[in-house]
Amino acid sequence: DRGHLAPAKAMSFSKQTMSESFYMSNMSPQKPSFNRGIWKRLEEKVRGWILISDSLYVVTGPVLNKPLGRIGENNVTVPNSYYKSIIRFNNNELFGIGFLLKNEKSNNDLASFSVSIDSIEKITSLNFFHELDSVIQNRIEQNSNYQYFSQK
């Protein structure tokens, strides 16, 4: 599948953004059972958190080390995993969590894929929220507790 990194449904606030969500720059090769299964469930959960938050900041991407292979005439890399690093703003507080999912079918509960943002940064060599105050950044990037994040 041509899996969306930023879900089309999240871009439905205008015709232009919805149309642009289908650009190849927002696509990544995903196994159909992953894209239509656990990945879709995570996207739906994130949309649900929007309703109980002041705002969310979501960073999504592929993990490109140890790819599953390459496809097509352009030799596009098929990622082995995908991540979401999320900061939730609610009642003047910040909460963070990460998700790391293998590009494969899974019926596991979403909580089993929750990880710290720090752990995703180590795997990807990216520093997502470096402009935050270091004390706040350290606190929110260490959390991997799904229940804590989703109930605050």
Contact assessment for residue 84 and residue 46, using Cβ atoms and an 8 Å cutoff:
yes
Q: How many other CB atoms sit within 10 Å of the CB of residue 66?
A: 8
Polymer length of the chain: 152
Could you give the residue numbers annotated as active site?
4
Phi and psi at residue 108, to the nearest 5°? -65, 155
Which CA distances in Å does 139 have to 1, 85, 94, 111, 151?
Answer: 36, 14, 9, 19, 17
